[in-house]
A and B are shown apart, each in its own frame.
Chain A
Amino acid sequence: MYKSILLAMLGAVALNAADVREIREDIEIPYISYDIKMGEHFDAVQTNCLTCHSFGYVTNQGPQSKEQWRKKVEKMVVHFKAPITDADSADITEYLFKHYGNGQEK
């Protein structure tokens, strides 16, 4: 009797052992604060862009032309369906080009 209980317990332990996971609870994705330049229209950037991605996505794209930035914002609206108004899109493009642009229109 005792023996069978012991065996059953051992069995349970073995089952658990087979199920041992490296992480059992939620993982936590750390928050990193990326330096971002302040300036006109930053509020539009903050309102619209951060919903989907960090500022790292802005600062790690490299300096781009105004057209490249405009297309990037357009891609967020057309392909990723971000609900950004036309006015905000224009403001965001201005901001991105001013602070992360290469000085060229095209």
Chain B
Amino acid sequence: MERRDFFKKSLVVAGAAAIGTSLEAASLPKDNAKVSNIAFPQKRPMITYSDRPPLLESTRDVFSQAITPNDQFFVRWHMPEIPTHVDLNTFRLKVNGEVKKELSLSVDQLKHEFEAVEFTAVLQCGGNGRSAFTPIAGGIQWGNGAVGNATWKGVRLRDILERAGIKKEAGWVGFNGMDNASYYETPNFVREMSLTELDDHVIVAYEMNGEELPYLNGFPLRLIVPGYYSDSWVKMLSNLTLTKSYQKLFFMDVAYRIPDNECECEEPGEKNVKTKPIKKMNVKSIIGYPTNNTVVYNNSHVTVRGVAFDQGKGIRAVLVSVDEGKTWEEAILHKDTLGRYSFREFRYSFKPTKFGKQKIMSKAISKSGEEQPLAENIKWNHGGYKYNGVDVVTIEVV
């Protein structure tokens, strides 16, 4: 390409992008946040949006592997007061409310008196990718990295509740953790789940990837609700309370909600939109290698690596495009050994044949046929939740 043509072409592209931002509800999430030079306990240095409460995001390169290492796993707390020490000799998980017998269980009891179960599941913040939305949706402007995948080991919630004896009248179970607000009046980060939603995959975990849970990921116990966004996965879980009816809760009734319509979307400024909790995750893929601005040689073998997941239907295919979305080819999926709630690794090899910028796009399709939409086709919602646009990285071919 002539130099002059190149400039002309980039002008056209820039023009399209400028128009794009004013018309589209979503573009790509930001991907240039800096890693902090300060590490948090049990963590490598990560993208750090806040120290209090801690908000840590993983960088894109973490997503070239199925299991997210504990020390690179994202962190999101809501309350400023997090216990900085938990004494396992005195820590107890309390079970109360509409039960026949109240329980007070140590972590040791959970480990030795109950059947241990273990499975791998994705944990993702409902606001992951929020920075993609235009106009800006309220909340921390997360990039791509408020998500991770780990193998969790613990005890079935059902087994714990059955030991306490669920009274006939009980309809809901509430979960409370040990984090606290600065003001006594601030609502706790309590979640509730209907007992009808409870299946054997909901566990109280004491281990993450073969280690005790890192403090910032909820030591010593965390609720695991595979397929659901992380606002359901209560950290530092200390209390299970059974109730007859649903209790009003800020974090269920006001926050973490999306429009209750088919597109789960609304116009900015629209009033009186009926909403529902975000609950289950949609299908998504993330490219872990190469990352944006990676430099590769022309005509060399480039192996794209990434992960795909959904709410637990399982991944049928990941398609990759290296020609701006004109044609798509199936990537190779890693053997399905970690189960349907896990990241599924994919890889795709190609040889770049043109110098300059090269886009790589990935699109996951679930076994139920749900397909990752292009970012430009994603409709807006006020909380900026559930972004799952086709992933795109742009590399440099030299």
Binding site for B on A (CB under 8 A): 19, 21-23, 25-32, 34, 51-54, 56-57, 60-65, 68, 71-72, 79-83, 102, 106
Contact = CB atoms under 8 A, between A and B. Distances in A.
Interface string B20-51: 00000000000000001011111000001111
B183 A82 contact: yes
Contacts of A65: 135
A22 B42 contact: yes
A64 B138 contact: yes
Contacts of B181: 52, 80
6 contacts: A27-B85, A27-B215, A51-B80, A56-B48, A63-B136, A82-B186
Given A28-B41, A34-B50, A62-B131, 8 more contacts: A21-B88, A23-B41, A26-B85, A27-B42, A51-B182, A54-B50, A56-B48, A63-B136
B55 interface: yes
B57 to A, nearest CB: 10
Contacts of B182: 51-52
Contacts of A60: 49-50, 55, 140-141
Would you call the interface of chain B mostly helix, strand, loop, or mixed? loop
Contact of A29 (B40, B49, B141, B250): B40
Q: Which residue among A62, A64, A81, A106 has the maximum number of chain B CB atoms within 10 Å of its CB?
A: A62
Given A30-B40, A52-B181, A61 B52 contact: no
Interface residues of B, number: 39
In the complex, the 6 A-B pairs of residues with the closest C-beta atoms, listed nearest first: A56-B50, A81-B185, A27-B41, A32-B51, A62-B136, A60-B49
Nearest to A20: B212
A106 B271 CA distance: 13
B369 interface: no
